[in-house]
Structure 1
Amino acid sequence: EYGVFDVKTDRRVAGESEEEIYQILNLPFIPPELREDRGEIKAAQENKLPQLIEYSQIKGDLHLHTKWSDGAHTIRQMAEEAKKMGYKYIAITDHSQSLKFAGGLTEERLREQIEEIRKLNQGLDDFTVLSGIEVDIKSDGSLDFSDEILSKLDVVIAAIHSGFKQESKIITERLVGAMQNRFVSIIAHPTGRLIGYRESYQVDIDKIMDMAAKTKTILEINAYPERLDLNDIYCRMAK
């Protein structure tokens, strides 16, 4: 923990910085995010370390909630802040009507929001606000909104927020059915876990990934600290 020492002289030969330690070991620097004892040292020796995504490479966010449901800011405020961060676009994806405790939007309110976004975009330069929704996949597998209203949106995220204790077959069928809807673009937090609060629901992840590939549906990597869903293991499977 104090550095790298010469075993013969007990002299410290590296330790002022992490980079110095990797240099004396004749290895390229391994970012902390990759230090999991999953082959990263061998990959470093072979110069095959993956390139990590940097904040500067992120150009937008497709899952945002506003004051229209359970968020804290207006659509304009979200757009202005995102633009300051160097983003080129955001999608407004508030909750749908079934999630009353989260202020879910009725169909009428969603239509009003679509119009507000349309007007806002007229005054924005080099930035786009996409209209969207996080539509609930209800316990019976149906979506919370009709295809007619979903067809008006730029982005449709589908997600499970109820029926977490259903059998794996039923939950899997709910997710598969949502992906087969031609208007669904993304499945949010696909396993439903909340770290420290709720275990993942039982789901056949292989079937989910197969259907996602078949329908070209995106499986979200939700980076909210309490979710991290998909997790690292499933991300490797997807790759």
Structure 2
Amino acid sequence: MASNPNSQELPLVLLHGLLGDGRDWQPVIEALPGIDCHTLDLPGHGNNRGLSVTGFEQTHQWLCDALKALGIAQYRLAGYSLGGRLALYHASRAPAGLQALLLENCHPGLPLAERAARIEHDECWARRFEREPLAAVLADWYRQGVFADLDEAARARQIARRLGNEGHAIAAMLRATSLGQQPDLAAWLRAKPLVGARLPVSWLSGSRDHKFHQLACQLVKQGCNIHHLTLDGGHNLHASQPERFASCLRDWIASTP
């Protein structure tokens, strides 16, 4: 956990993506002096690699318990990729203390007809994480389309950062929180003038992450109650441009009293 106890703001809780840990946010936190920032290692990751969950609801309960253990009653929540999906599910459960939500290159969920195929797709990756050398799996993982903005040097650095993971733990988390296991939360976002009146939701996408940028644009067109923000970048904006990402967070905090 990283924090700045001198802040007068509501605590900002940050959730990383698959294969990451709370340290991923450190460059962003360093660019946010005066903001009370808290990072959590997701189940199966970092200091929580020995912790497993069965699905989104149990992960929501884990997050509630983690916040309670930190003494955090009211908070802003930001999440990236998998962390964003978990944050979105958490918000859909209407936790009393959540005051604002920001999602970075996040997926709202698939229609029911597409979920079985996604579960099968993620199961293939999970088996690879369990059975193959981690370096070999990561070399293929970071050649997926969403990471197309990474050049060879950036890809090599990302792989090196992720070699501390434990393959079985990643596989378990991938199965538990597969996109195919997630409810379609776009429906929740569309149904929320009343939620929107209480909980502002900002959605940040990278213009060069074509898949997730188009998803965010579609949510706006579908009438979802979100504030869509864009940075010129790829999938992992907070890693590739932490100071610009921190600037977005400062603006977001200032706009969400």
Q: TM-score, normalised by structure 1?
A: 0.29
Q: Which has the larger radius of gyration?
A: 1
**Larger proportion of helix:** 2
Q: Which has the higher contact order (CA 8 A, sep 6+)?
A: 2
Q: TM-score, normalised by structure 2?
A: 0.27
